Amino acid sequence: MMKRVMKWKWTSSKRSTLSLLKSRSMVDYSIFDSLLDSVFVINSEREIVYCNEAGASLAESSVRRLTRGKKIFEVFEFSDQKLFLMPDGEWGRDEATPYTEIAFKLLASGNKGRLQLAIQPFKGEGGKTYWVVINRDVTLEEQLHSKYQQQLAEQEKLIAELREARSELEKYSKNLEKMVAERTAELNQANTMLQAIMNSLGQGFVVLNQDGRCGDIYTRACLEIFGQAPEGVHLSELLKDDEDSEKSTKMWIDAVFGETLPFESLVELAPSYRNAPGQQIVLDYYPILDEQQKLTNVVMVATDKTAEFQAKLLLEKEREQVKMILNVIRAKEQFQRFMVSAQSQIKKMIEKSNRGHSLDTDEMFRLLHTLEGESGAFSVHGLRLSAREAQEKLEPLRSDKSSVSSQILMDFRASIRALQSSFDQIKEDNSELFSALDISADQTSERSTSDSHIEFYRKLASSGVPAEMIELFEYEFLRRAPTSYIKHFSEVCQLIAGKQGKKVEFIESIDPRLRMHIAAYEDLFSVMVHAFRNAMDHGLELPEERKAAGKNESGVVRVAMSWTNENHIRITVEDDGRGISPELVRQKVAEKGLKFNVDVSDDQLMQAIFLPGFSSRDEAGEFSGRGVGMDAIKDEVTNLGGRVYVESRVGKGTRLIIDVPDVTLEEVQTPLAA
C-alpha cells in the first residue's frame, strides 16, 4: 500500500491528481466540513465557491458571505505575491504546492497572522479546473515564542547578576587566603593564632595541634557550625567521621606534622565536613610555621556556604526552567507526549512497587532510567533528580534481593511516590504555560484532531471514493513525519557537550518520504534518548583527545531514518568517537558474570552491550553507565517485532542500527498481543 502512495506522491503527481480528483460531481465538499484545518475551494476567477466553518472563522466572516462571488484576494492579502491566490500570482495554478508557512492580513479587519498553506488543483464539473486551499493557523505559536523569548532575556539578566555576585564572593575568598598567608609569615606563633582566629568574624577558626586535637581558642561560629565547643575534641570527632573516614583523618594528621610532603600537596587530601542535607560547610587549612619554618600547628577555617550553595541551586533551577520553556516551545508535541508518557509510567511504577519481593527490579530500573533520560532531554530538573534518587534506592534491591530489609523496601516505595509529587509540582509550577499551550498529562493535545481524521477516513472508505484517494488521505493525515520526534535529541547532545567540555555537530538525515503511525513508536522514541547519551558520554572524546588522534575537535553525532523496503523502517544513530574495544567487552562480560559466549567474532561480541546490566564503566556517571539504556532500547525494538544491532571500530566510532516493521493503521487501533 505505502509503495503505491509513495510513487504517486513523489514521481507522478500530475497524472495521479487527475485520476484522484476526476470531477466536481464526484467530490462532495461536505467531507471537508469536519476538518479542523480551514479549507477553501476556488474557481479560475479565484472566486470562493466553498469554504468550511474553520475557513469562515479564519476569515472572520460567514460561509454565505464568502461564497457569494467573493474572490479570495478580496478577503486575504498574502505575503507571497507569487501564489495563485493573489491577483497576478501563478504558483499553484498548474500543480500542487507543498505546505508553505507565510504571513497574511485580513483586508476587512486588518488583523494579521501566520499560517501553513497548500494548494491542490483538480478537475471538476464539465472539465473545469478548481483549486483546494488548505490552511493551518500557526499565529498562536508565533505569539507564544515572542513572549517567552522576552522572558528568556529577563532570566539571562538575572543569571548575569548572580554571576557577578559569585565573582565578588570568589574575590573575597582569595583575599582571605592571602591574608592568612601574610600573617603566618610575619607574626610569631601566639600572635598568629590569635590574629588568624579573630580576623574572620562569622567563620569558624580552630587551631589543631600535632595530636589532631583542637586548642582552647576558637570563634563563636564554631558552636553554630559544628554544634559543639571544639576545645579538646579530636578533628575526626568534630567532623563527625565514620569509621573509614576517621582512619583517613588520623593518617592525614600524621602525614602533615611528619612533613613527609609539602603542606600544599597534602592540603588537597585534607578531611572534609560531612554535610547534612541542604548544608554546605567548606573547610580550608593553613600552616603555622615557627622561625625555623617548621610546622607547629594547623589552622582550620570552616565557612558556612549554605546560602551560597542554595543560591547556586536556585540559579541552576532557573537555568533549567528557561531551558524547559524553550524546549516546550521548540518541541511542543514531543513535550506533550513526554508528559502523558511520564504520568503513565509513574502510575505503573507505583503499582509495581507495591508488589514487594515479587518486584521485577530490572524492569523497574529500565523505567526509571528512561524517565531520567527523557526528563533530562527536556530539562525537567526536579523530575530528573527524583528519578535518579529512586534508582539509587532501587540498587540494593537489584543487586542482592535475598538480604533486602523491610526498611530498604519502604525507602524505595517512598522514592517512587516522590516521583508523583515531583511530577505534580512541575504541573503546578508551570500551569500557566501548559494552559496557554494546551499541554496536559491526561491526554495528548492531538487526540481530538486524530479522532476527527480517523472518522473522516472511515467516511471516505464507505463513500465510494477511489482507493487511491483514501490511501493518500491516510498517508497525509494519519501518518506523520518523524522529524519533530528527532529534533530534541540535538538538545540532549548539546546539553551533555556543554557539561563535559565537548564539541558536537548534530546531523539529521530523515527521508522526506517517510511517514509513520507515530503512536506505535512513541515508546521506542522515548528510550532512544539512551543512544544519544551513550554516543556523547561513551563515544565522543574531549577536543584535545580528538586533536591528538588527528580528528576534528568537534565530534559528529548523526541520526538517519529511511525506508529499507515497502514495509520496514531503519533508524541509525552513529558517532565518530573512540569506538568500543572488543577486549573491554570480553573483560566486562566476565567481571559481571553475564551469560554470553565471548568466543565469537568481534562483530558478534559487540551485541553483548544489549545485555541487562552490561556497562563498560565501573561506576555510573551523570548520563550513562548503569547498564540499562541499551537493554531498554532492545526491549522496545523487540516489542515492535524488529531487530537492533551495533557496529563499532576502535578509533573510528559506533553505529546503532534499528530495523522495525511499518505498523499499519489497523495495528495501531488494535495492538498486537505481543
Question: 401 and 288 in one domain?
Answer: no
Do residues 386 and 419 lie in contact, with contact meaning Cβ atoms separated by under 8 Å? yes
Tell me: do 530 and 665 sit in the same domain. yes
**Taking Cα atoms as reference points, which of 19, 71, 65, 21 lies closest to residue 43?**
71
| Cα distance between the two ends of the chain | 24
Q: Is residue 9 part of a domain?
A: no
Place of cell 483549486: 131
Domain membership of residue 523 (yes or no) is yes
* CATH number of the domain where residue 544 is located: 3.30.565.10
**Contact in structure between 652 and 579 (CB atoms under 8 Å):** yes
Specify the number of domains making up the chain: 4
What is the layout of strands, in order, in the sheet containing 38-42?
48-51, 38-42, 129-137, 112-123, 100-106, 76-78
451 lies in a domain? no
Residue 45 lies in a domain: yes
Residues 441 and 542 in one domain: no
User: How buried is 366 (Cβ within 10 angstroms: 0-12 exposed, 13-18 middle, 19+ buried)?
Assistant: buried
In a domain, 123, yes or no: yes
Last residue of one domain, picked from the residues 397, 430, 445: 445
Beta strand 38-42 with 48-51 is antiparallel
- Specify if 629 maps to a domain: yes
Check whether 402 has a pLDDT greater than 60. Answer: no
Q: Is the pLDDT reported for residue 357 higher than 80?
A: no
- And the C-alpha cell for 578? 573512540
Q: Measuring CA to CA, which residue among 457, 346, 347 is closest to residue 34?
A: 457
Is 314 part of a structural domain of the chain? no
Residue range 465-509, pLDDT digits in tens? 787 887 788 778 888 888 877 887 888 898 889 889 999 999 999
Alpha carbons 57 and 33: distance in angstroms, whole number: 13
For residues 516 and 618, state if they share a domain. yes
Q: Are residues 587 and 508 in the same domain?
A: yes
Could you report the per-residue pLDDT of 544-568, keeping only the tens digit for each?
999 999 999 999 999 999 998 768 9
Q: Is the pLDDT score of 205 beyond 90?
A: no
Residue 466 domain-assigned (yes or no): no
- Whether residues 645 and 506 share a domain: the answer is yes
Residue ending a domain, among 88, 113, 137, is: 137
Of 87-91, 391-395, 404-408, the poorest mean pLDDT is in 404-408
Q: Give the pLDDT band of residue 361 (cuts 50, 70, 90).
A: confident
Cell numbers linked to 368: 526509571
Longest Cα–Cα distance of the chain, Å, equals 113
Q: How far is CA 31 from CA 46, 47, 61, 457, 458, in A?
A: 21, 20, 21, 10, 11
DSSP structural state of residue 91 = B
DSSP string, 549-600: TTS-SSEEEEEEEEEEETTEEEEEEEE-S----HHHHHHHHHHTT-----SS
DSSP helix/strand/coil, 608 = helix
Write down the pLDDT at residue 360. Answer: 76
Which grid coordinates belong to 11? 514521481
Shared domain check, 276 and 202 = yes
For 334, the enclosing helix (H) or strand (E) is helix 332-353
Question: Whole-model pTM?
Answer: 0.48
Residues 441-478: b if buried by 16+ CB within 10 A, e if exposed = beebbbeeeeeebbebbeebeeeebeeebbbbbbbbbb
Which CATH number fits the domain that encloses residue 187? 3.30.450.20
Answer with the one of 137, 164, 194 that is the final residue of a domain.
137
According to DSSP, the β-strands at 48-51 and 204-208 are unpaired
Range in 26-40, 125-139, 327-341 with the lowest mean pLDDT: 327-341
Q: Are residues 51 and 192 in the same domain?
A: no
- Rama region for 438: left / alpha / beta (φ>0; ψ in -120 to 50; rest): left
486 and 601, same domain (yes or no): yes
Domain that holds residue 383: 331-445
The rounded distance, in Å, linking the Cα atoms of 523 and 668 is: 13
Confidence category of residue 196, pLDDT binned at 50, 70, 90: low
> For all residues of the chain together, what is the average pLDDT?
81
Whether residues 494 and 598 share a domain: the answer is yes
Q: What is the DSSP letter of 276?
A: P
Do residue 213 and residue 297 come from a single domain? yes
Asked if 486 and 658 touch (Cβ cutoff 8 Å), the reply is no
Q: Do residue 181 and residue 281 come from a single domain?
A: yes
Structure confidence at residue 507 (pLDDT): 92
The tens digit of pLDDT for each residue in 33-76 reads 888 899 999 999 999 999 999 999 999 999 999 999 999 999 99
Identify which of 256, 91, 253, 286 has the alpha carbon closest to the alpha carbon of residue 173: 286
